[in-house]
Structures are given as structure tokens and as C-alpha cells.
Amino acid sequence: MARPSIVPIALTLDDRTGYTLWAPPWEEDGEEWQAFLGTTVEVRADINDDDPENPVPTAVVHLFPSPAALASFCRSSTDHDLADHPVWPVVAGLGAADLTPDDDHRYDLDGVYDVAAENPDRWAVEELAATIDIVSRLAECLDTADEDDEDLDDDETEFEAVAELVAKPEIGSLGLGAEAFVGRSGENAWAGVGSALDDLWEDVVEELGEHLDWTGAGTAAAADFPSASEAAPIAVDDDEDDAIEPVDVRGTGPAAGVRTIAGGGGRLPHAPAAVAAAAEFWEAVGILPVEVVVPDGAGITLRCYVDDVARFLGRDGEVFLFDTPAELSRFCAGDERHDLSEIASWPEVADTDTPPLPAEQDRYDLAGLAEVLGEVADGAAGLVSYAALGQPVEGVRDLAEYGQLPRVEELLSPTAPLGRAVAVGEQRPDTALRQEDAAAVRPAWDEIVGLISGRLVFRD
């Protein structure tokens, strides 16, 4: 098993957000472990009651009102369940910036009903799946029921509602991705997800709430915790006109530990200073230059997000690629209609003389990853980390979404070999890609590259 790690996370419940740490499963002395920043304390059922009566041993997770408060606790305390974790000495020296969760590790328990009411696109399905997954992990770690507990039968748990929820077939389908909710049967399955949440979610959060310590191990008060609106940015919907405003809410940086596959991240080199100078304009208009490298060649296009859905310079699901920034600029200045024509900021793009130079995080070398997977599969173990999958996969997800290629999401589903490898890269980015895993995922990646290539049109 890969080396252990500790991940900062944020939980939002009852309109307040708390920060803590999660140690994903790791192996030690032949056993698999998983833990959260917490401990077992002698309290009554309500951990946050100032005057507990009839105390009983209760496993709790400590929550803090800010990453800074979390960092302060980590520097000063060793009386918790992560104190013996192999990497705790490193974590204890980290500051607030390093202990701030990324977007993938923020879990809004208050928002599950709203997400379930949306259409089952990839983002809604992934958000629900991630939220329910972290709740089930919390329940697993906090459940102290065992065979010696006289109050519980052998098959009972302290988290009965959680166990009942995750056992629902519709909830299990969340792990298969958005494709599980396509068509008539998929619509019924998505309705089943909503029904299961309506029946059980309040009980789930009540069970979990009894084990959440909102005092930060005695270092904080309830008033210190920010509301959900204060802890996360709010997207503002401006309906002053009919033009579509692009909003990119996914962040701009590549996954931690991603190694460049080809020199410079792509095949069309540009001076870093020139890219940085151009970035100010492209970020301001919300439409970004993107480089895509496939076996047929490398090209530049444009991409934005509309309602968190990727949209490219193209038409009818086909993406237009250009050999050079100058050729792309000449096309943009023309009058040919395409799927970015209705974007509110498009007139600025058509008139600008700022060259469309892709930033490093927007260069997706799909061919380079295929070559590396082949080398590792042929015996070059240790050549690259699992995180090398992150940036190319990010690119193909967007391209497949625009090109309406459901097969790509199927190949990237959490139960597929490639999807499992991507998950390893997200959880343990520095782990070296194993030869057997490279061999297992290479056919899927080759199929994906072929599908994506079929949606790319190289323009003169």
C-alpha cells in the first residue's frame, strides 16, 4: 500500500463550517488504518454540552473555526488519534495555508438536498458521492460498537442510519458516475437517491452530530465558527442581460505533484513571461487558451465554463484546434459562428491583440501520458507518479463533456482500473506509478485518446 498521508478537510453542518484532518487508509504492521483528528472522551451524548451528565466514552472529531486555529492546535497538542501517524511530525509544523482544504475536500452536509434536486450531471453526482463517502468514513472511524458492547447486538452499529443509507442500491450507484443516471432507468435511480436522502439524511446528520466536537478540543466556542456563506465564496448570478457569463469555479492550478509529461507541459513552447503577461486579459474575460496534444498533433483552442459545464471553441461537439496562437487569433477576429459566439465577453476576444497563450495548467498532453504509461508498463517502474494522471484526465473530462462522449466517463468511473488509478493520484500524489497499474490502465487511456481525437478538428 502507498505511503500514509494526512489531508485537511472542511465540514459544513447547521450553517457553520469546521476544519479538521483526515488520514486516508494506510497500512502499518500488516493492518489497514484510517483516522480523523479526534479522540475518545467521557461525555454524554451531546459532546458540545457545557454540563454533561452520565458521561460515557464517545469517539469525537475535533473541528476548528479556521485553518489557522487548526494549525495552532496541531503545533501544541499530541493528545489525539493522529499523534502516532507516521507523518504527524510534518503536519505539526505546517501553517494555515498548508492546512486549508482544496475544493475536493470541502463537504457541505447542509447542501445535499439542493444537490439531489439538480440534474444528475457529473458535478452533482460526484459531489453527492464524495459527501456520502466522507460521512461513511467518519461513521466507520467513530463507531466504537464491538462484540464486548453489552448494549448492542453483534450486527448493530452506533450509526444505523448511515449504514442503511449506504446500503441503498441507488446510493451505491453514485460511485458509478453520471452514466448511472442516464435514460429512464437512470432517472428512476436519481429519484431513488433523492428519496433515500429524504428518508434518512436527517437521521444521518443527527447520528454524526453527536460525535462532532465544535469546541476544537476546548480551544473554540460556537460563535467562533463561520457560517457557510462566510467560509466559502459565493457565485453571483447576474441576470442583467441575456448574454451568458462564464464562471470558472474549479480553480486554476494543477493537482499537487503533477509532473510535466512533455517538455514545457505541451508541444508548443511559449516564454513564461509572455504567458504571464497574456494571462491577465484571458482571465478577465473568463475564456482561456488551452493546448491539447494527441498523436495527430498539438493545437490551441479556447475554453470557458458556463454553469460549471465546459464549452470550447467549436461547434456540434467538435473542438477547433489551431497550429499557432496567431492562427487562432485570426479565426477569432473573423465572423464564423461557433459555440463561444454568444458568450458575453466574446467581442473583447474578437478585438484583442493579446495572443492566446495557454498557461501551464491548461496544457493537456494526452499523447505524452500514453507514451509514459507504455514505458512504465514495459518495466520503467518509478518513472512517474500517479499524480501525472491528474492534469491530462482533467482535460479529457472537459473535452468529453463538450463532445458528448459518455464512454470516457465510463472508463474513468471509480470502479474501473483507470478511475482507481486516478483516485490514488488524488489521495497519494507522490506515489510512484506501478508497472502492473500502468499495464492495466493503458488500454483504457488509449481508447480515451482515440475518442477525444475523433472530436478534434485541426483548422487552417
Nearest one of 348, 352, 396 to 370, comparing CA atoms: 396
Identify whether residues 271 and 217 lie together within a single domain.
no
Other CB atoms closer than 10 Å to residue 262's CB: what's the count? 17
**257: in domain:** no
Domain termination residue (choose one: 174, 201, 228): 228
**247: in domain:** no
Identify whether residues 174 and 28 lie together within a single domain.
yes
Identify whether residues 344 and 417 lie together within a single domain.
yes
C-alpha cell at 33: 488504518
Identify whether residues 182 and 314 lie together within a single domain.
no
The number of domains in the chain is 2
**251: in domain:** no
**249: in domain:** no
- What is the C-alpha to C-alpha distance for residues 401 and 245, in angstroms, rounded to an integer? 19
Note down the domain range covering 88.
7-228
Residue 296, pLDDT score = 87
pLDDT at 255 over 70: no
pLDDT grade for 385, boundaries at 50, 70 and 90: confident
Identify whether residues 202 and 269 lie together within a single domain.
no
pLDDT at 266 over 80: no
State the chain's maximal CA–CA distance in angstroms. 78
**195: in domain:** yes
How many H-runs (helices) and E-runs (strands) does the chain carry?
Answer: 16, 14
pLDDT grade for 314, boundaries at 50, 70 and 90: very high
Residue 314: Cβ-neighbour burial (10 angstroms; 0-12, 13-18, 19+): buried
**Average pLDDT taken over every residue of the chain:** 83
**35: in domain:** yes
Identify whether residues 51 and 157 lie together within a single domain.
yes
Residue 401, pLDDT score = 94
End-to-end CA, the chain? 49
Identify whether residues 153 and 215 lie together within a single domain.
yes
Identify whether residues 217 and 289 lie together within a single domain.
no
Higher pLDDT, 262 or 68: 68
pLDDT grade for 308, boundaries at 50, 70 and 90: confident
Identify whether residues 157 and 12 lie together within a single domain.
yes
**316: in domain:** yes
Cβ(296)–Cβ(453) under 8 Å?
yes
pLDDT at 48 over 60: no
pLDDT grade for 395, boundaries at 50, 70 and 90: very high
Domain termination residue (choose one: 228, 251, 282): 228
Verdict on whether the full-model pTM lies above 0.85: no
Identify whether residues 418 and 271 lie together within a single domain.
yes
Span 268-277, average pLDDT: 73
Span 157-168, average pLDDT: 90
Higher pLDDT, 55 or 129: 129
Q: Which residue has the cell 489531508?
A: 7
Identify whether residues 340 and 402 lie together within a single domain.
yes
**245: in domain:** no
pLDDT grade for 412, boundaries at 50, 70 and 90: very high
Domain termination residue (choose one: 228, 255, 287): 228
Residue 167, pLDDT score = 92
Residue 312, pLDDT score = 96
Identify whether residues 155 and 78 lie together within a single domain.
yes
Residue 252, pLDDT score = 31
